[in-house]
Amino acid sequence: MPDWDAIRYFLEVARTQRASAAAQRLGVQHSTVTRRIRALEQSLQATLFEKSRASGFTLTEDGLRFFTYAEQIESTLLAAQETLSGAAGQLSGHLRIGSTEGFGSTVLTPLMVDFQQRHPGMTLDIMPVPRYISLSKREADIAIALERPQRGPYLCTKLADYTLKLYGTRAYLASHPPLRRREDLDQHTFIGYVDELLFSDRLRYLDDLVQAKRVIFRSTSILAQYQAVLGGQALAILPCFLAAQDARLVPVLENDLRVSRSFWMYCHEDLRHTRRVMALWDYLKQAVGLNQALLQGRSTRLQTPSAPATCA
Domains of the chain: 4-84 (1.10.10.10), 93-312 (3.40.190.290)
Do the beta carbons of residue 251 and residue 296 sit within 8 Å? no
Question: What is the per-residue pLDDT for 238?
Answer: 95
Do the beta carbons of residue 11 and residue 77 sit within 8 Å? no
Q: How many CB atoms within 10 Å of residue 177?
A: 10
Cα first-last separation, the chain: 34
Question: What is the per-residue pLDDT for 89?
Answer: 63
Residue 69 has pLDDT above 90, yes or no: no
Residues 6+ apart with CB under 8 A from 96: 124, 125, 127, 139, 140, 141, 142
Mean pLDDT of 64-72: 85
The reported pTM is 0.74
pLDDT band at 273 (very low <50, low <70, confident <90, very high): confident
How far, in Å, CA of 228 to CA of 221, rounded? 11
How far, in Å, CA of 89 to CA of 139, rounded? 27
- Give the best-scoring range by mean pLDDT among 7-16, 42-51, 104-113: 104-113
The H-assigned helical ranges of 49-160 are 61-84, 101-103, 109-118
pLDDT band at 211 (very low <50, low <70, confident <90, very high): low
The lowest-confidence range among 102-106, 147-151, 251-255, 276-280 is 147-151
Closest CA to 97 of 118, 124, 123: 124
Residue 225 has pLDDT above 80, yes or no: yes
Residue 68 has pLDDT above 90, yes or no: no
pLDDT band at 83 (very low <50, low <70, confident <90, very high): low
Residue 86 has pLDDT above 60, yes or no: no
**More confident of the two residues 16 and 222:** 222
Question: What is the per-residue pLDDT for 82?
Answer: 66
How far, in Å, CA of 122 to CA of 120, rounded? 5
- Within its chain, how far is the Cα of 95 from the centroid? 13
Chain mean pLDDT for the chain: 87
Question: What is the per-residue pLDDT for 312?
Answer: 35
**More confident of the two residues 254 and 74:** 254
How far, in Å, CA of 255 to CA of 165, rounded? 10
Question: What is the per-residue pLDDT for 223?
Answer: 95
Residue 274 DSSP SS3: coil
Residue 81 has pLDDT above 80, yes or no: no
State pLDDT tens for residues 143-195. Answer: 999 999 888 788 999 999 999 999 999 999 999 999 999 888 888 999 999 88
- Rounded percentage of the chain residues whose pLDDT exceeds 90: 49
